[in-house]
Amino acid sequence: MATPRSDSVPDIEAQPGHLIRRLQQFAVAFFMEETQGLDLTPVQFAALAAAQRQPGMDQRTLAATIGFDTSTTGGVLDRLEARGLLLRGASPDDRRVRLIHVTDDGAAVLREVTPGMLRAQARMLQPLPAPQRKVFMEMLDRLVREHQDGKPVSGA
């Protein structure tokens, strides 16, 4: 016997969390399609790109920069280091802290994967008219910053 439909259950397809999760699925799929054969995940790309943009940051700072917990980030860094794409070395100020540096091979991989990553980003936004893309990105940025910082964004 089928369970009767309940009007008290919200339509999941009208919920922001569900739609954001679905868009994330598309984002990962587009990234993997556009960078096929380069053997890099979106999270690995984010870690490598952040480390390239700010050489010598520590794992905790990198984790905060890309929005992951430090233990997950540690595993990502382990895989990148095993492939020779980055190095972690002791800080001269605190031997317990390991500073991250992208290797020449890591920089080469970033150069190779970036065009595909950019194509994936364009594919995500392609259904929106050009003027709406900018507005959508501004809204996404605001939501992420406000939830990340736990404080209101100025300029409401």
Q: Per-residue pLDDT tens for 39-93?
A: 999 999 999 999 999 999 999 999 999 988 888 899 999 999 999 999 999 888 8
Q: Per-residue pLDDT tens for 123-143?
A: 999 999 999 999 999 999 999
Give the residues across from 101 on adjacent strands: 87
Q: Give percent of the chain above pLDDT 90.
A: 72
pLDDT of 140 reads 94
Domains with residue ranges and CATH for the chain? 23-125 (1.10.10.10)
Predicted TM-score (pTM) of this structure: 0.85
Please, which residues have CB within 8 angstroms of residue 56's CB and are 6 or more apart in sequence? 99, 100, 101
The label of the residue with tokens 């994936």 reads 120
